[in-house]
Each structure stands twice: as C-alpha cells, then as structure tokens.
Amino acid sequence: MSVKKVEWPEAGDLVIASVQRITDFGAYVKLDEYEKEGLLHLSEVSSGWVRNIRDFVREGQKTVLKVLRVNPEKGHIDLSLRRVSRHERREKILSWKRERKAESLLRSVSEKLNMPYEDLNAKAGTIEDKFGGIYETLEKAAREGPDLLIEAGLPQDIAVALAEVAKDKIKPPMVKIKGLLELQCPKPNGILHIKEALLSAQKIEKPRDTRIRLYTVAAPKYAVEVLAEDYKEAEKILQKAAEAAIKTITSAGGAGNFQRGK
C-alpha cells in the first residue's frame, strides 16, 4: 500500500488532484495518488455556465475529480468536477486521508524495526488481501492487539510493532451516551447537597480519556453525558456516576432516581 501509485487510473475512478495552473480552457492538475498530470476542461467544471473558473478551482487547491478518459500512450487524462457528487467527494477524501495515515504508521514502524519501508509496505499488502483496508485493520489492532495482524499473515515481530505504533498514534472514535438524574433534598441546604451529589458523579474513577458532563435540564432533573471509547465502557461509567450521585443525595436525607436516555 502506498499513497503514490505507479499505474494509471481508469475511467470512472475518483482521484485526489492538486490544481497546478489555470488556463482559458480549463485547469491542469496533478493526480496526487499517481504523480501524473491531467486536464480538467472548462466544460467539465460545472453543469451550469462558468463565468470564472476560479469560482470553482484555484491554484494550489486539492479537489476530488472523476476520470473520464485515459490515454497512456499520449499521457492524457481527462477529468471532471461536475460529475462528482457530494457523497462521492466526502467518501473519497475520507479514504485518501486513511491511506495517508496508514502510510505514516508504516513508515514509523519501518524506522522502529530498522526495516526498509518498501519491504514493510510489501508485507503489509497481506492485510489488504485478508481484510481490505489497512488503516481500518490497524485501527482495530490498536484496540485488540496484534493477533488480527498475525492472522493476516504478518510475522509476529512486525505485527506486534504495528499494533503498538497504532495504539500510540490512532485515537479511537468516541461514543456518547446520556441519562437523566432526578435529585431532590427537602432540607434547608438541599441545593448544596444536590451540588455535592452531582460533584460526586463527576469525580468517580474512570479511564483517562473518558469524559463526564452534567447539566441542569429543569430542576430537579439533571442530564448526565458520558464520552468514552466504546459503548460497554460508557454504559459502565454512566451507571457508576448515577449510583454515586444517588448514594450521596440519599446519605444527605434526599432522594434520587436515574433513567437511561435514548
């Protein structure tokens, strides 16, 4: 796997392109993934009238284009901007960013193992053969360890190094769940006891990257939001926070209950 490719793109492919120069009849671009030049003709910039091409593309800009025609013998690649949908653009940019991140991770491991990048890159091809996306697999290995990479056919030392670097460099996507606390205390200083109860929920022991947010919905109801690496951990922390708040308010002579939000 490499962000730079040596082959030619095919008609219908989506490509990441950097605008090099603009002329009266279109824009010349460099295909970042192929290190080749292509032409975005003025007629393929927009489905409407183009008064000024720079309203759509500018020198130095990166954009997603669709390949219309390829002629390797003449070195011609014709491209289109108007035929790329918003969904296609979003998905292509996401895929490209993942490829770049995967390449960065592989380069870090090649340095760590003192192994030529080209050799590691070739071996990492087994991940694509087995599971498809390299970055997605490394993201999973960051959470679960090297066994997945060994299953893909990588030697143990490389699999372990990749999993370690992935765990260090890949920030897992966070999940958010919420619930509703109802806290009441009839005592004269009841509001202080409610604040203490909410503070006790905030202060429970939790993983470093986990976040708890509490805020008033409409007294005596208070929302509890938990941001964590996975739903299982988030559920556990949410329940623990609710129990801490209810225990504190009950000890102060008040009452509380908790309802899991949807």
DSSP of 168-226, one letter per residue?
HHPPPPPEEEEEEEEEE--STTHHHHHHHHHHHHHTS---TT-EEEEEEEETTEEEEEE
- Could you tell me if 72 and 34 are in contact, meaning their C-beta atoms sit under 8 angstroms apart? no
Instruction: Give residue 37's pLDDT band: very low, low, confident or very high (50, 70, 90).
Output: very high
Which residue's structure tokens are 């309802």? 259
Q: Can you give the C-alpha Rg of the chain in angstroms?
A: 27
Instruction: Give residue 237's pLDDT band: very low, low, confident or very high (50, 70, 90).
Output: very high
Q: Which two tokens stand for residue 230?
A: 């996975």
Beta bridge partners of 143: none
Instruction: Give residue 171's pLDDT band: very low, low, confident or very high (50, 70, 90).
Output: confident
Range list of H helices, the chain: 86-112, 117-131, 134-144, 147-151, 156-169, 190-202, 231-251
pLDDT (mean) for 96-106: 91
pLDDT of 5:
53
Q: What domains, with CATH codes, occur in the chain?
A: 14-84 (2.40.50.140), 87-169 (1.10.150.190), 175-260 (3.30.70.1130)
- Going by C-alpha positions, the residue among 84, 52, 40 that lies closest to residue 66 is 84
**Judging by beta carbons within 10 Å of its beta carbon (0-12, 13-18, 19+), is residue 196 exposed, middle or buried?**
middle
Single pTM value for the model: 0.61
